[in-house]
Amino acid sequence: MPLAAHLHPTRANEVIALLGSMGIEGEVHKGEGGRRELIVAASDLARVDRLLAEEYPNGELESAVPRPQPAPKEPENMNVRVLVYLFLLEGLNFFRLFRNNPQPQRSDYLRHGALTWERVDQGEIWRLATAVFVHFDFVHLAANLLTLALIGPLVTRAFGGLRFLTIFLLSGVGGNLLSHFLAPSGALKAGASGGVAGILGACAGHAIANRHHSRYRPWQMVAGVVGAYALLIGAGPRSDHLAHAGGLVSGWILGWLLAPKNVSPANETSG
């Protein structure tokens, strides 16, 4: 049965693709004046009506609204190189730390950039950043790199390589800052988990910044990111929970601030 007798021709393929992604079959027939009629099964009518009202709240179905242009993105090979360089930097520092001593001492970790409350308070602020590239063992390193491998390509395509690096590093610093101020300790602190959590948070920030072009509610986006955080990063007893939380919130804010605005779903690259 016809659903939208005034469907603009430029929207026809887009609507069919949208319905197909939700498992709904539909056809578009040519009507009078070059307009199109969308035909769906009667059993799907109410669901399709809600979906289209949610996806096109401002009546875009009936007009040739110019598509918003995405912000210029860096070449895909640049995004790949950024991820490779980040992996190499993390791996190289790990190799240098463990090369001559399979059981590094406290002084070794400090020499390679780990942080402590005393050192930061003595003015070695740079440790808030260098600690993001220090790991205590291979499992610690592998867990963070595996998570980056899973979500990194998606985030670099959404933001571009340079913005991705900015979010990763600043989120790591933000997480270390929160941990430093709320849980000062003489214990060594290091790891990329705050930066990784920030990359996940940036996904939520990006989605919320472009929420008008999504069928999902902001709380659904946030819930999805929190769920991914729990699965990929976790909250083990040895985890620095404050650093993770600080990184997640920092990434959320940075993702919202740095996300290309007004990008339609058809112009986004899914991962």
Which pLDDT does position 60 carry in this prediction?
A: 59
Q: Is 244 annotated as catalytic?
A: yes
Query: Is residue 112 in some structural domain?
Result: yes
User: Which position among 244, 250, 264, 270 bears the catalytic label?
Assistant: 244
Give the relative orientation of helices 161-182 and 76-98 as an angle to the nearest 10 degrees.
40
Per-residue pLDDT, 171? 94
Same domain, 142 and 22: no
- Contacts of residue 262, defined as CB under 8 A and 6 or more positions apart, other chains included, come to 68, 210, 213
Asked if residue 67 is part of any domain, the answer here is no
Within a domain: residue 68?
A: no
Q: Which of 256, 207, 267, 271 is nearest to 67 (CA)?
A: 267
Q: What are φ and ψ of residue 162, in 5° steps?
A: -70, -40
Instruction: For residue 93, tell me if it sits in a domain.
Output: yes
8 assigned to active site: no
Total residue length of the chain: 271
Asked if 174 contacts 194 with a C-beta cutoff of 8 angstroms, the reply is yes
The verdict on residue 69 lying in a domain is no
Low-confidence ranges of the chain (pLDDT < 50): 64-69, 71, 216, 219, 236-237, 262-271
What integer pLDDT is reported at residue 93 of this predicted model?
Answer: 92
Q: Looking at residue 237, what is its pLDDT?
A: 46
> Are 217 and 110 in a shared domain?
yes
* 207 found inside a domain: yes
Q: Are 37 and 4 in contact (CB under 8 A)?
A: yes
DSSP state of 270: P
Whether residue 83 sits in one domain with residue 38: no
Helix (H) or strand (E) holding 23: none
- State which residues form the domain around 55: 9-62
pLDDT at site 2: 55
Q: Quick check: is 178 in a domain? A: yes
The CATH number given to whatever domain includes residue 21 is 3.30.70.1530
Identified catalytic residue from 171, 193, 206, 250 = 193
Q: What is the CATH number of the domain that holds 185?
A: 1.20.1540.10
Q: What is the per-residue pLDDT across 85-137, written as a single tens digit (0 to 9) for each?
A: 999 999 999 999 998 788 889 999 999 999 998 999 899 999 999 999 999 98
**Judgement on whether residues 106 and 196 belong to the same structural domain of the protein:** yes
| pLDDT value of position 155 | 86
Residue 4 within a domain: no
Instruction: Say what the pLDDT of residue 211 is.
Output: 64
Predicted TM-score (pTM) of the model is 0.63
Both 152 and 44 in one domain: the answer is no
At 176 the pLDDT is 92
Same domain flag for 221 and 90: yes
Q: Residue 80 is encoded by which pair of tokens?
A: 């790949």
Q: How far apart are CA 164 and CA 158, in angstroms?
A: 9
CA separation for the pair 34, 31 (Å, rounded): 6
Q: Count CB neighbours of 85 within 10 A.
A: 12
Percent of the chain having pLDDT more than 90?
Answer: 22
Domain tally, the chain: 2
Residue 37 pairs in a beta bridge with 29
